[in-house]
A and B are shown apart, each in its own frame.
Chain A
């Protein structure tokens, strides 16, 4: 077997990202496609309201966009995709990230900015007609409620069961973010000084929280986090969202930087211990099959990979953030590339450099440890039983990520401070990885609720001229923030026996959750088709630059549609009745909707061609 140096792969990935940003992002999308103009006033200035439309510093907005789009997706998905080996997921993350994800993030922001800050769903009316807009809005609203339910549940479980110390970090972190905002906006302290104060306090808070767990039950956290989501989504962005996400970006950057520096640069001689390609067809369990199909090799890398890797490569949710909260805070059109395209590349870096590569590096724990003289005894002391779990594939989802990240970091730093420190280093970095994931999840939670509020308001805009009083009540920002959280919490609260395995207890939202990955990726395809049509029909871009958007958009639509059809044909028939009537029906409706919207897209494209 050829030895592949991890540092070499890390360097290739970094060079690809830099080249993509300069050539594909700046030279093509910004200058030739969108033609960003710094002199044009953005909606943040023109429609400033002090709550949602507020211009933000580009680094602050980058932090917001990056932290909001991240969620748990760029971590859990690539960790699960290691079932195909490490090379195939890495290729998909790089390709999807650059040619699809970064494009839909950037163009969603820019299209929204040019239309006064409205969502990509409402923009679709201009290129695909009024029906498309309302179908799109309703679809997105229910998808957001599902995300709220899932993230309320994930965060509550993490705080209540997995990491009570992460709850303490969150409790301390919010007042720190407020303090930062007050220091900058009210006291008038420079951003640099305020950042320094906040970061020092943040590090102290992290250290203090290591031995300060906050215990509350799952239901208790569900109530607290629901109230938090309502408040955070209705309060002005400058007050909580901007300072919190700005500080969050530092935490997330430290997380990515450590992931790159420690295992690759501290010990450049390390080689990966995992297989580049394990199989082109993983078992059905990887894409959510239960029963017999979970053991069949039906999860073909293409077209099912988008059902496994979402946010790290592409995601419909990103277009909602881009054309929802981000576009309303963009201060200058030239900032959009750094915020949207750059933010998405950073997310890809989380997947490729902080999840897939550490996984590839420590895949075979004993082999990776032996390369640096760490004994099996020390690994056992760290809490890993090599007999039961010899490779990272024995861990599932989040635990696979925590273990790979913690192990790779501990290996590298034990080289500096001594191998005896391996167990404590592993535990510390394992906790750090859990904090990073929680901070992604909490940020996404309230951004999601704010987006649901925007979708709700846009859905009822027809009421404004007809019954202004009713519109004012229905679209009041507090009312519109409470409704989605209530619905989400109602789906995250009830427990029932899993119809697929009655000995297991699941939360109600989990019945429909298997449908989410497919519908989210479908949304990405629809959002990219919408912005592609905007570029083609409204901006009148033709030739190579137009094709560089059109081809990936159609490729994505075909891929996701094929994956969903596989899911419907091979997985749904074997699901218990309750799953078929929930997740199965949602996927079937999504596929029908998918075909309806592609017809509207093709019609829009033909109309635009005829018009020129």
Chain B
């Protein structure tokens, strides 16, 4: 595993923990996430989870799926280079 993939995996785990904490623990115990009209800590954590989940799997799993790349290469006959993140 490359360093960026490890970082991606860690970010994904953190994001999932934040989302599950907010959506299940906080919501089920308090009947909602955050406080109306305020910026509460649990709402910030869930919002962070929402943004991190967009980044984590992308860093972890790579830019172009191998299957897609091979398919394109077979049809066009040209070699696809990995785009820098």
The 10 closest A-B pairs by CB, nearest first: A50-B64, A215-B34, A185-B65, A214-B33, A213-B32, A212-B27, A224-B47, A216-B43, A215-B36, A48-B72
How far apart sit A214 and B31, CA to CA, in the bound complex (Å)?
Answer: 10
- B4 / chain A contacts, CB cutoff of 8 Å: none
Contact size range, A: 35 or more
B8-40, CB < 8 A from A: 16, 19, 22-23, 27, 31-40
Query: Could you tell me if A45 and B32 are in contact, using CB atoms closer than 8 angstroms?
Result: no
B3 at the A interface (CB under 8 A): no
Q: A48-B80, A51-B83 known; A214 and B32 CB under 8 Å?
A: yes
B7 at the A interface (CB under 8 A): no
- A232 / chain B contacts, CB cutoff of 8 Å: 54
Query: Could you tell me if A49 and B83 are in contact, using CB atoms closer than 8 angstroms?
Result: yes
Query: Could you tell me if A178 and B63 are in contact, using CB atoms closer than 8 angstroms?
Result: no
Q: Which residue of B lies closest to A235 (CB)?
A: B58
- A589 / chain B contacts, CB cutoff of 8 Å: none
- 8 A–B contacts, CB within 8 A, in A order: A41-B75, A50-B63, A211-B31, A212-B27, A212-B33, A224-B47, A235-B58, A238-B65
Enumerate chain B interface residues (CB-CB to A < 8 A). Answer: 16, 19, 22-23, 27, 31-40, 43-44, 46-47, 49-51, 53-55, 57-58, 61, 63-65, 67-69, 72, 75-76, 80, 82-83
Query: Could you tell me if B76 and A46 are in contact, using CB atoms closer than 8 angstroms?
Result: yes
Query: Could you tell me if B43 and A220 are in contact, using CB atoms closer than 8 angstroms?
Result: yes
Q: Which of A50, A178, A231 contacts B69 (CB 8 A)?
A: A50
Return the CB mask of A162-190 against B: 1 if under 8 Å, else 0: 00100010111011001000100110100
How far apart sit A186 and B36, CA to CA, in the bound complex (Å)?
Answer: 40
- B16 / chain A contacts, CB cutoff of 8 Å: 175
A275 at the B interface (CB under 8 A): no
Query: Could you tell me if B43 and A228 are in contact, using CB atoms closer than 8 angstroms?
Result: no
Q: Which residue of B lies closest to A167 (CB)?
A: B33
- A51 / chain B contacts, CB cutoff of 8 Å: 63, 83
Q: A51-B83, A224-B51 known; A238 and B33 CB under 8 Å?
A: no
Q: Which of A164, A175, A188, A216 contacts B19 (CB 8 A)?
A: A175
Q: A213-B32, A236-B58, A239-B58 known; A171 and B46 CB under 8 Å?
A: yes
How far apart sit A212 and B32, CA to CA, in the bound complex (Å)?
Answer: 5
Q: A168-B23, A211-B31 known; A178 and B76 CB under 8 Å?
A: no
How far apart sit A3 and B58, CA to CA, in the bound complex (Å)?
Answer: 57
How far apart sit A46 and B76, CA to CA, in the bound complex (Å)?
Answer: 7
Query: Could you tell me if B76 and A175 are in contact, using CB atoms closer than 8 angstroms?
Result: no
How far apart sit A175 and B43, CA to CA, in the bound complex (Å)?
Answer: 17
Query: Could you tell me if B64 and A236 are in contact, using CB atoms closer than 8 angstroms?
Result: yes
How far apart sit A174 and B50, CA to CA, in the bound complex (Å)?
Answer: 8
- A110 / chain B contacts, CB cutoff of 8 Å: none
Query: Could you tell me if A185 and B63 are in contact, using CB atoms closer than 8 angstroms?
Result: no
Interface centre among B49, B55, B61, B82 (most CB of A within 10 A): B61
How far apart sit A103 and B43, CA to CA, in the bound complex (Å)?
Answer: 45
Query: Could you tell me if A228 and B50 are in contact, using CB atoms closer than 8 angstroms?
Result: yes
Query: Could you tell me if A215 and B32 are in contact, using CB atoms closer than 8 angstroms?
Result: yes
Q: Which residue of A lies closest to B36 (CB)?
A: A215
| New A-B contacts (6) at CB < 8 Å, excluding given A182-B57, A224-B51 | A164-B36, A208-B23, A214-B33, A214-B46, A216-B39, A239-B58
Shortest A191–chain B CB gap in Å is 13
How far apart sit A208 and B40, CA to CA, in the bound complex (Å)?
Answer: 21
How far apart sit A67 and B16, CA to CA, in the bound complex (Å)?
Answer: 27
Shortest A344–chain B CB gap in Å is 28
Query: Could you tell me if B37 and A220 are in contact, using CB atoms closer than 8 angstroms?
Result: no
How far apart sit A236 and B55, CA to CA, in the bound complex (Å)?
Answer: 11
- A178 / chain B contacts, CB cutoff of 8 Å: 53-54, 57
Shortest B4–chain A CB gap in Å is 15
A240 at the B interface (CB under 8 A): yes
- B32 / chain A contacts, CB cutoff of 8 Å: 164, 212-215
A374 at the B interface (CB under 8 A): no
Query: Could you tell me if B37 and A212 are in contact, using CB atoms closer than 8 angstroms?
Result: no
- A45 / chain B contacts, CB cutoff of 8 Å: 72, 75-76
Return the CB mask of A36-60 against B: 1 if under 8 Å, else 0: 0000010001101111001100000
How far apart sit A472 and B14, CA to CA, in the bound complex (Å)?
Answer: 33
A547 at the B interface (CB under 8 A): no
Shortest A521–chain B CB gap in Å is 34
A257 at the B interface (CB under 8 A): no
Query: Could you tell me if A220 and B47 are in contact, using CB atoms closer than 8 angstroms?
Result: yes
How far apart sit A48 and B74, CA to CA, in the bound complex (Å)?
Answer: 12
Q: Which of B38, B65, B72 contacts A186 (CB 8 A)?
A: B65
Q: Which of A186, A208, A235 contacts B54 (CB 8 A)?
A: A235
